[in-house]
Structure formats: C-alpha cells, structure tokens
Structure 1
Amino acid sequence: MTTHLFCRFISLALLFVSLIVQAIPAEQTIQQSTQVVTTESIANQSDNNWLSYGKDYLEQRFSELNQINTTNIEQLGLAWSFDTDYGRGLEATPLIVDGIMYVSGSWSMVYALDAKTGELIWKFDPQVPKEWTKKACCGVVNRGVALYEGKVFFGTLDARLVALDATTGKKIWDVVTADLSKHAYSITGAPRAAKGKVFIGNGGAEYGARGYVTAYDVNNGEQLWRFYTVPATSEENAGDATQEMAAKTWSGEFWQHGGGGTVWDSIVYDPELDQLYIGVGNGSPWNRRIRSPGGGDNLFLSSIVALNPDNGDYLWHYQETPAETWDYTATQHIMLGAMQWQGERKKVIWHAPKNGFFFIIDRSNGKLLSAEPYTKVNWAAYYDMETGRPVETENADYSQGPVYITPSSVGAHNWQPMTYHPNTGLIYIPAITGMFKYEEVEEYVHQWGHFNTGSNLDQGLLNNDLLAQAIVPKIVAGEVIAWDPVSQKAQWKIPRPQPWNSGLLATAGDLLFQGTGDKRFIAMDVNNGKELWSFDTQVGTIGSPVTYSVDGEQYVAIPAGWGGALGLAGGVEQGRQPAKGRILGFKISGQHQLPPLPEPAPRVQPPARITDDKEILNRGAELYWTYCGICHGQEMVSNGQVPDLRRLPTVFYDNFRQIVMDGAMSKMGMVGFSDVLDEQDFHALQAYTLDQANEDWELSQQPEWWLAIKRWFYDIVASILAWLSFQQL
C-alpha cells in the first residue's frame, strides 16, 4: 500500500512539473532559440529564420523559401499587424529566430513578437530624451537589432549600445558610445555581432562629430577596440601609423570642425576572409574648401575600410569619392559576393553608394575592379582604372557659384538595402533620381549641435505655390534598377513616383518585394520587374521586408511607417496616416484587415500676416531652411507625422515664441532655438511661417474646379521645367 501511494505521489509530481513547463513555452522557446545564434549559425542559417541584418554575413537578402511564388502571389493576404508606440518613420529590418520576431521602432524602442500572430511578447523602452531630435539629422529612426548568444543588441538615438536578455527583454548592460559633452552623436544603424563582439558606429557628421567604429564584448559591454575614420591633431595621432597616414591627406585645422566620416550604417563581417568592412560617411562640413582648405583626399571619408575584427587594426581601404564635397557617403549597403572576373574567381564587394557609380571591389585587398554609373551622373565623367580615382567634371565645382549636380545630396542610393538573386545573377537597387543645388555659404560659422554643411540648403523651389508642388515629383523620383555586375549595366529599370521607398527582398519564388513611398507593399517578377501584387499599407513604407517560415508556412513581413531623411525634409505630403507605425505580416490566404484611417481634422484659418517685407520674408526662409526644414519639410510641406507649420491649431501660433525660442515643447521633441536665433531672426521666422500658412489657406479656399485647372496647367509647366533642367545636367 505504501509503495502504491509513493508511486502515485511520484506520478502526480511528474505531472505537476510537466504542467509547469508547458505553462511557460514562449520564454523557453525564445531562450533556446536565441542561445544558438552564433557566428557559425548566422553564416549557415536555415531559411526559416532571418538572424542578422542582411539575413547572413553576405548581406545578399535572398531567401530560398518558395512557398509564396509567382503562381500564387495573388492569394497573399495580411495575416497580422502590430502597432508600435509611435507614429514616426520605421526603417528597421526585423530579425526572426524560430518563430520569434525582434524589431526596433521609433525612439529606439525594441519589440519581441510572435512571428506567426504578431502578438507582443515583450517590449523595451530605452527612455531616449525627446530633446535628442535636435542632435539627430534624419528623424527618430532605428534600422534594427542584432542577435547573439541569447542577447538582443541595439543602438539608441542618444548614442548608447544596449544589450537585452532575449527571453525577457530585461536590460543586461548599457554603455554610452560617445563623448556627449560637446559633440552631438546619435545611433540609427543596426549593430552587427560576430566572434564574441558587437560592432557599432554612429551618426552626427553634420553636427561636428568625428567618426569611428567600436567593438564591445557581447557579455559585459566592455570596449575592446575603437577605430577612428578621420585623424585628429598631430599629438593625438602620434604613434598610430594609420592615423598619421590619414592625416597627410588633410590640411588646416580640420579637427576644429570634427571631420565627419561617421559609420552610421553599413558594417559587415566576412567569415571567409575574417575581415570587418565599414562604410564611411561624408565630411564635416560637406564643403571641402572649408573643411580642408589646402586640399587633400581626406581619408577615410567616403571609403570602404577593412579592419581586423579581433583588434580593429587597419587592413586596407578603397576611397570611392576622394575629397568628397557633396555629402556622398559610402555608408550604403555593403554586399559580399563571388564572381568570375577576367578568368578568375574573385571574392568581391558589390557596392552602390550615393555617388551614382556601382563598384566591384576585390575584398581580399581593396583593389578596384569596376566602377560604372548605375544612374545619371554629372559630377564625374568616369573612373580611371589605373589610379582608381574619379575624373571630375567642371560641373563638380561649386566654388564659383551655384551648380545643379546629380546625384543629389540624398544620393542615387541611400541606406535602403539592395538584394541579389543567384538565379538571375542580378542585384536589385532601390535607387533615387534627382538633383541638388550646391552653393557655398557667404560666411561659414561652425555651430556645434546644429547642422553644418558649408553649403546653402535653400533650394529656392518656388515658395510653396502649386508650381512648386507640381515640379518636385518630376525632378526627384525613385527607381528599381536590376543591375548585372558581369556586364556592368542595368538590365531593366522600373520607375517609382516617390523617391523614398523601402529596401528590397528577393526569394526563390522568383519574387522581388518592396514597400513604397506611395503607401503600397508590392511584389514584382525578378526577371522583368512586372508588378504582380500590391497591398495598401495606408502609409509610406520604408522599412525593409523579410521572409521566414513558422510551422511550415512562409510569411513575409515589413515595417510600415513614414519618415527618415527624405521622408521628413522631402516635402512629400502623405495626408491621412495611421496614428502609429505598424509591423505587417503576410501569408497565403491571410484575412486580417487594417482599421480605417481617421478622418482629417478640419482646417483652421491662421492668424494674419505680420509683414509683407520681402527682405524679412527672405531672411525667414533662409532660417527655416537652416533650422526647421530638416524636420518640417522643404517648402514647409510636412510629411504628416511632424506638425505642418502651415496648418497649426491657433494655440500654437499664439505660443510661437515659447515653442520656438524657449523650448516649451522640448519634452515632446520640439526643442528651442534661442541659442542661435536673436529677436530679429525670430521675427523673420515667424513672419515667413505666417506668410506660408496664409498662402496655403488662400489656396484651400479657391473653388476645386479652379484648382484643378491650375494644377493641370502647372503640371504641364513643371514637366517642361523638369525636362529643361535635366537637359542641362
């Protein structure tokens, strides 16, 4: 009897333990899954997962999954959606490991979701001060996280690197990656992890930062090494052969302006050659005549640099744009590949940076193999293959007056990732077409903590009338370019009405996915770019798509939320938008529905103009371009996620001084500018704002039939002006 009772007790105890284990499956699954994310698993992962920013270390963003393909793509439907906490730009690439999705959002928030249902598992708020918007060039965006050995790593807008427990979302360690006492650093790029280290760069070149990349120990956040991308004073460079070499290519007291060269996006580990590649950004200020008045190439600006991942030692570099002066960064997506080149199999880097040339670089030694324009370029005629240097045109020099140059400062390709399809052999580039008016400022004054370019940012488009609204889309647009690296030419191009679109994803189902600035998520045929399917995302979509499989079912997911550099400053009016950015998950026969968009708020007549003095209004326009346009949009046309200064509620106009000068709304991200604006400046800025608000109001009061006629007429005029402009380039 006693034995029988004992056996029953043991059975009940085992059942009780079993029930406890079954009651916590989610956390247990996360822990077991992320624990196996290592250097080896990232390099050799299953296509069910997406373990690193570019999927694996090659960063080709190609998936062998083919359950969703050209034969059934029309059946693709929304499976789930998840609302993030903020309605700002979503630029992230989600990571997926065994059914769990990790994704970052605005203000450096991080979320862990059930990748099958979109249900929230945990979220982490790093508590970034909202005032930091003043120190970040391109919105409160974040491009993603890194997974490694049970941890989630991400950078914050206020320049911290944070490690979380992947199971619980609890913070393990948190380190400040920059000296913030003087310089305005930020982090928007995704970290990379390999060999027990996590690598991160930073942004802030226009604010006077000096660029570098740092390696930290994944276990405790200890700094292991740091590599500076621009030199400093001779005393600081002494004894460092690499910095001394770079300093010879600079002149003047360049360190007074920081130098720039921030590694704000692409960092790639090469497990085949055991090298770390970093893409280096633009100079600070942009204008090289101010930055380095005696000339010089200014290493390592606009370069790809190879480092030893163990200690950060310099291995080699290739400078794509020597002495860059147009904001032509080399921080764009670095893709690793292999190809036949002149009868020999080469391990290469494929790179399409801002400057408009597609580069093929031998990744064993940095030798240039090819540089051909993938879009219209007028700053350089070609690259001299013996020297590896561009041959600049007369048009490249804006020291004698304003010059229209293409690509623009936004670049022919920005941070949005490319993709490669091994069956077609093509690299698909989310490209941008456009021009920019470069013009030296009359007198350069460096302002720490503010934008410093040495170039007049006022594009003088036409003062926000209907003609300006008509011409902007005709001179700045987007493209998908299918580039053949073997023939070094485009096989086909597909236009996009908006220049600011998402990255690309290619799959073995012969599909090419992209989110667009005109509020769609689309699938194309990889062979010809033909559109096969589209979904109304309700908002301009710039985050990068991924695909994965859960329980044998393929999903495609993308973050949807409008913002980022051109999404803020581009003057692209988005109209009604969701209150919060979303993560969207799709599968075959998905039936989920997005809620309807909110009705627009009624228009309110602004206060009357306070002056018609053209000199004051012109000064106000100049100040707007310098301090406000980067967030509130060119020609004062907002993207819808940041207040449109032409259409504010009356209370904001009544408290304009308290907001603009005193920072009354700093805790909401709108900082004050009393440190750079005096009373006359404030008066001019207020006058210009009210002038634009009244012009916009007056247009809205005209009969719709009359506006339609005017839009039709201005559209014709804009087409002619755009055609003439491009003929001159």
Structure 2
Amino acid sequence: MVLIFRAGAPVLLLFLVLAGGAAVAAPVSLPVSGERLLAADREPQNWMSYGRDYAEQRFSPLQQVNQYTVENLGLAWYFESDNHLGLETTPLVIDGVMYFTGAWNKTFAVNAGNGELLWRFDPEVPRSKSITACCGAINRGLAAWGERLFLGTLDGRLIAIDRVSGEEVWSTQTTDPEQAYSITGAPRVAKGLVFIGNGGSEFGTRGYVSAYSAETGELRWRFYTIPGNPEEGFENDAMERAAATWNGEWWRYGGGGTVWDSIVYDQELDQLYIGVGNGAPHNRRIRSPGGGDNLFLSSVVALDPDTGEYLWHYQEVPAETWDYTATQQMTLADIEWQGQQRKVIVHAPKAGFVYLIDRNTGKLLSAEPYTTVTWASHYDMDTGRPVEVEGQDYDGEMAVVFPSAMGGHNWQPMAYSPATGYLYIPELDMGMPFDEISPPDYKHLKRHFNTGYHTDSGDTGQRFSQAMMAHLPKSHLLAWDVEQAKIAWKLPHPHIHNGGVLATAGNLVFQGTSDGRMLAVQAESGEVLWQFDTQNSVLPGPISYEVDGEQYIAVAVGRGGVLTSNTGRAYPTGNPNNRIMAFKLGGAASLPPFERPERPLPPPRTDASDEEILAGRALFDRFCARCHGANAVGDGSVPDMRYLEPVWHENFEAIVLEGLMEQAGMPRFDDVLDSGDVRNIHAYVIERAHEDLELRQESGWWATLKDAAADAGARVVSWFLRP
C-alpha cells in the first residue's frame, strides 16, 4: 500500500495492490475538521455541509459552468435507487466521494466522478413507523465531522457512520419511542457537537433541540422550545418566561414547536440559531384559550452552542394559528442596510414575508411580503409585530387565508448570491380554507389525520371555491433583492411544488421542477438558459462540486413526501425509481427510456349506494389521502389506488385492517376503521378507477380540457374542499 499526498488539497490517494498486481486508486479524505468547515470557501471543490458553508447560502464559488458555457451541460452520470419513495436529500461531497440519504434513511457513498457505489448503510427503520411520520419516509441529508457521518432516522435515532467503511460507530435514541416523534431533517455539526431536532407536532409532541458529542454520542444539552406542565417545574428561566405567554392546559395537547429543519451555526458570533415550528393543535383558541403569544412557536431562537443557553429570540408569528412554521431555511449574510453594514439572518418561511433579523440582537430590521399574504397587512417596525387582518383567524367562521398551511415557501432550500445580492426562493402562491375544529386528544393521537383544515359543504364550500378560482395556485422561482427588500424578478412554473435552489459564481441559478425539468437560469434576469428532462420531479436543492478539474452540478430526483402526494395530480411520465443525477460540460450520458406501466382494468363497480361511496370518500380523505393522494390520484411514489392489480383488490380488507403490508410501510387501521368502513373506502376507490378509465377512453378536446383543468389546480382545490 502506497500513500501519495496531493499538494494543495487535503486529499490522499490510496493505492490498493490487488491479488493480480493491479493498483486501484481511490480517494481517501482527511477528517472534516472545524477548521475545514469554517474555511469552506477555500475548498470550493467540496460540499461538506448541508448548505455548503455555515452561512447556508447554497452559493458555489465554482464558475467553469457559467452563463456562457451552460448550453454545453450534459448528464455525466446517474445513480438509481431501489424505490419510488420521496428523495429530498442534499448530498455531501468530500474529497471526491458523494454521500446521500434515501427513503427509510438508507445511506449511500458513491464515487462523485462516475457514480459508482462504494458502500451503503441501512439503519433498518421499522416500516410500521410510517404511521407517525407526517410527510413520508423521507430524509434531507447528513452531517460530517472528523471521519464520521451523522444521520437522523425516522424512528428518532442519531447514528454515527464511519465515512470510509459505511459501518455504524454509535447510535443513540434522541426521542421517546412511545411518542410520535420522527426525524426527517439533516443534523448540523460544529465545535464537536451534533445538533438535531425532530418532527411530530401534528401528533401532539413537545418540541426541542439536542446536542450530542460527535465522538461518543453522549447528550450534552437539550433546549425545549415551549414550556411543559408548570407543576413539574421548568427546565430553565427561558421556559418559565415562556410559560407566562401560554394559557389553559397546553401541555395536555403537547403544544408543538418542533425543530424539524433549520439549525444554523454562526461562526462569526458563535451562536446557534434554530427555527421553531407550529403549535399543536393548530387552532390557538384550543391550545391556549386565554390568548398569549405562545413562545417560542414560529420563532427564530439564538442559543449558546456549547451549553444550549437561551440568548435571544424573534417571534415571527405570535400565537400562530395557520401552521406557519419558522423551520424553513435560515441564511446568514453581511449586507448594507440603510447605510450600515449589518450581520443578518435572511428568512423566508411559510408566513409569506422575508424577514431581516439582526444576528447580534434579534431585532427585526425588515419584513416584506414575497407572495400573496392575507393574514397580516404589514409589520409594525416599532414593536416588530405583525398587524393581523380581521377575520383571517377563522374565529367562528371559515376563512380563506394566504399563504396556505403549505406556506409561501416550504422545506425546499433557497439560495443567496453575494454576487447579485439576490435571495432565490422557490415560492408557492396559494391559499386555503381554515375552519374551527374540535380538539382531538393530541397526546394520544397515534396517527396523522387530515382534521386540521376543512370546510363544510354547501354555502361555505361554494364561497371557498369561488375564492380559489379567482386566485388559482401558482408557483415561481423568485429573486428577492435583499438590500432593497423587494422582488427583482419572477420565473413562473406550470405546476406547484417545485424544487430547491443553487446559486453559483457562474451567474447561474439552478432549480428542478415538479414536472420533471432541471433548469439553469441567468441569475440577474431569470432567463432560462438550459434545461434537461429528468423524467421525474425534482424537489431538493442541487449542489455543485469539482472532481479532477471538472465542475459538476448534482441533484436528487424523485417525487414523494406530503406535498406531491397530496396535490391530487397525475404525472404523465409515471414514476421511475429515484436517482441522483450529476451534470458536467460535455456530459454524454443518457437516461434509460421510461415507459409507463400498463394500467390494469378496474374490477366491476360494487353495489354500494351513493351515500356509502360518499362516506368512503370522506374516510379516504381522512385516512388515506395523505399518502395516496387527493381524489385517489397518486403521484406514483406510493401505489395509485386507481390502478391496483387484482390481487390488491382481493386482499383490500386484509391490507387495511390486518396489516398484510405493514412490513412494507402500509400501516394497519383496525384501531379506527371497521369492515363496513373499509368496504365503503374500497367502493370509492373502485368508483374513482372507473371514472379515470372513462376519462381516458374519451377523446378530443373535452378530455384534453379536463386534463388541463386538473393540471391547472382543480384537483388541488378539490382536496381542500374535502368533507
């Protein structure tokens, strides 16, 4: 074995002499130290952390691929996974090796230059865990420190993996397995500590963030985001102060406030910022009937990274009641603001405003809408509080509110370019109805029901339908001028729910779309300069890296998760396996042709009455639509119920009530449904299959018109109108 140091880069080339005497060169990385992460710009060939650097700007200094050469960009290689479930990962690239996660937290290492598999790791997450996972068996990525990778699993474990061998080093349970917690976000790491949050507020959990030793997995500190039962005492002064902003018995419902995505380390100020989620229940009059701001819901909270001690907070939506989480990506930047240099957090979360927050103090500098907003008219800059619009809090009467609970911007990463001063946001311009709901027993809720937002039939539904038709859902890639606090340009997309964003020094912005395109646009104007047919939706953000002097653009491809499965829109290309795709100048690889599977004929219609089919629809919308799609229109990441093979119809009740497919991730529902319920659901599914068949058998302009209407958002509207 011979070790060769390559000058000017922290890489070793390890030559393994095999039995036949041949030598195979494989990249061997040096440890990912704090010094390397702090100086990420010195290694533009790598992508060593979730947002590339600690500022999480998702800006690559590489510029071999630029606005003049991008027309020559082609597919270099692709790596195909073994399933159709959602792929939301941001890959890491460290010294020529790419690391990424897939469904059920399977983790892969591949050669970043050609996509060849080096190892895979399966944490063997129990498939039954899908019942308490809000948004699919997905994961957004890894963290790296030393010679290890760190993975948060759907069942709440934090696992350290050896980066060379792919073997588990240690594992610790970060959540109470008896509660409905889950982890979908990527861990963050700094100063030898791994920071991890969790999800589960939909099931009545209490939010917190934890720090573990990267070396041993030992818990170092934990910060709860909302107070618990006052009779049990408070963990710290911050929780005692927060409790004064709650009323009633909020702890009985769990309260929410989970930290399920954004955690950012500020290397300049040595502070850790966490984005806190929504309340549970969503309706503030249920969880805190006497009013109050309900700290620290929908807040950015600054902590001491060494101890977890509270430093400051800014609450973006006091007493939030629309599922307006503040968990979306936070970006750190140094900008000129009103004649002064300021260190700021730039945040564009669900609530529809771009917030500029002073990183030293937490003071709000600016809050301007980047999408349609109706819940608040503006922010009072003296108090830093929003001015709510009367009637938008659905107090006793349904209200159509913008943004929807999906938010003006959800988990898909945004990017900030220091070259243009623009923040690039994957925007969703969409509203939805909110209505009063009865208080469920959140602490004992074992599964996620679609009970949070609904409308009644009749006049209420008609008024909502009219409102939505006047403002159909839209989606854009939006460039926001940070220093001017205004929109610079917008690129419209044909469908909602598009992918995350990458900005580069080549004056380019890359984004994937839900209709299966990878785009490169000119960063200053939004002009589309290049596109590639990916055969599938692109949801996460792309990355850029360099191997052997060639720049690559890579992205995870494959729809899934709650937003694509719930939109009720069929995808014309079907759903091939999820993939990682990497592009380079002159890339000449091609994807295999994909042919949509033959659709089986549905079984004969049942003898169910119209009332029973309607009851089946209501049950389907409550228990099944979260995965199988509104109106039983699936996105292909899980089976589309209209195209089931005969064997699934024959075993429908055994699957739903007896758990026949539980080990594959399909939960059983015998605790909430009986045989009569299942017969009605099955009758509805069969009816939808026949309606689809009749539509496909039609020809001419009428069928085309109905397809276009569905793609324009009619099916999205009908999802929100479900009983």
TM-score by shorter chain over 0.5: yes
Separation of aligned partners in 1, 2:451 and 2:698 = 41
Match of 1:331 among 316, 327, 333: 327
The answer to whether the 8 Å contact 2:495/2:514 transfers is: yes
Q: Displacement, 1:681?
A: 3.2
Residue matched to 1:351: 347
Residue matched to 1:107: 104
- Does 1:247 find its partner at 2:243? yes
Alignment of 1:496-535 (within 5 A): 496-535=493-532
User: Higher mean Cα deviation, 236-245 or 85-94?
Assistant: 236-245
Match of 1:419 among 415, 418, 442: 415
Match of 1:305 among 280, 288, 301: 301
Residue matched to 1:11: none
Structure 1: segments with no counterpart, 5+ residues? 1-15, 463-467
Residue matched to 2:558: 561
Cα gap change, 1:425 to 1:245, in 2 (>3 Å):
same
Cα gap change, 1:640 to 1:578, in 2 (>3 Å):
closer
- Does 1:83 find its partner at 2:80? yes
Separation of aligned partners in 2, 1:326 and 1:314 = 26
Give the counterpart letter for 1:626 in structure 2.
Answer: R
TM-score by length of 1: 0.91
The answer to whether the 8 Å contact 1:440/1:454 transfers is: no
Match of 1:38 among 33, 54, 69: 33
**What's the C-alpha RMSD, in Å, of the aligned pairs?**
2.6
The answer to whether the 8 Å contact 1:251/1:296 transfers is: yes
- Does 1:494 find its partner at 2:458? no
Separation of aligned partners in 1, 2:118 and 2:24 = 12
Alignment of 1:475-490 (within 5 A): 475-490=472-487
Alignment of 1:615-654 (within 5 A): 616-654=612-650
* Aligned-pair identity (%): 49
Give the counterpart letter for 2:177 in structure 1.
Answer: L
Give the counterpart letter for 1:554 in structure 2.
Answer: Q
Alignment of 1:569-588 (within 5 A): 569-577=566-574, 579-588=576-585
- Does 1:207 find its partner at 2:203? yes
Cα gap change, 1:599 to 1:683, in 2 (>3 Å):
closer
Cα gap change, 1:268 to 1:18, in 2 (>3 Å):
closer
Separation of aligned partners in 2, 1:347 and 1:492 = 25
Residue matched to 2:290: 294
- Does 1:95 find its partner at 2:97? no
User: Higher mean Cα deviation, 219-228 or 576-585?
Assistant: 576-585
Give CA-to-partner distance per residue, 1:348-394, whole Å, 9 cap, x none. Answer: 10000000010000011111111010111001011111111111112
TM-score by length of 2: 0.91
Q: Secondary structure at the match of 2:641?
A: coil
Q: Secondary structure at the match of 1:394?
A: coil
User: Higher mean Cα deviation, 503-512 or 687-696?
Assistant: 687-696
Cα gap change, 1:459 to 1:646, in 2 (>3 Å):
farther
Q: Displacement, 1:397?
A: 1.8
Give the counterpart letter for 1:214 in structure 2.
Answer: S
Q: Displacement, 1:686?
A: 2.9
Residue matched to 1:405: 401
Cα gap change, 1:439 to 1:707, in 2 (>3 Å):
same
Give the counterpart letter for 2:550 in structure 1.
Answer: E
Residue matched to 1:217: 213
Residue matched to 1:185: 181
Residue matched to 1:550: 547
Q: Secondary structure at the match of 2:502?
A: strand
Give CA-to-partner distance per residue, 1:29-72, whole Å, 9 cap, x none. Answer: 33x33x1x122211212111111000000111111111111111
Q: Secondary structure at the match of 1:620?
A: helix
Q: Secondary structure at the match of 2:361?
A: coil
Cα gap change, 1:592 to 1:314, in 2 (>3 Å):
same
Match of 1:390 among 386, 393, 396: 386
Separation of aligned partners in 1, 2:15 and 2:595 = 49
Equivalent residues, number: 694
The answer to whether the 8 Å contact 1:107/1:141 transfers is: yes
User: Higher mean Cα deviation, 620-629 or 83-92?
Assistant: 620-629
- Does 1:367 find its partner at 2:363? yes
Q: Secondary structure at the match of 1:660?
A: helix
Give CA-to-partner distance per residue, 1:583-628, whole Å, 9 cap, x none. Answer: 00111000111111034223312331332333x3343333222211
- Does 1:142 find its partner at 2:135? no
The answer to whether the 8 Å contact 2:398/2:455 transfers is: no
Cα gap change, 1:445 to 1:170, in 2 (>3 Å):
closer
Match of 1:431 among 422, 427, 430: 427
Residue matched to 1:465: none
Q: Secondary structure at the match of 2:619?
A: helix
Cα gap change, 1:175 to 1:716, in 2 (>3 Å):
closer
Give CA-to-partner distance per residue, 1:627-655, whole Å, 9 cap, x none. Answer: 11111111211001211112212222222
Give CA-to-partner distance per residue, 1:447-473, whole Å, 9 cap, x none. Answer: 5122267633469899xxxxx9xx999
Q: Displacement, 1:709?
A: 5.7
Alignment of 1:465-480 (within 5 A): 475-480=472-477
User: Higher mean Cα deviation, 623-632 or 682-691?
Assistant: 682-691
Q: Secondary structure at the match of 2:658?
A: coil
Residue matched to 2:8: none
- Does 1:278 find its partner at 2:278? no
- Which has more radius of gyration? 1
Give CA-to-partner distance per residue, 1:555-589, whole Å, 9 cap, x none. Answer: 11001011122112111322434542100011100
Q: Secondary structure at the match of 1:694?
A: helix
Separation of aligned partners in 2, 1:461 and 1:100 = 58
The answer to whether the 8 Å contact 1:38/1:194 transfers is: no
Q: Displacement, 1:412?
A: 0.2
Cα gap change, 1:709 to 1:368, in 2 (>3 Å):
closer
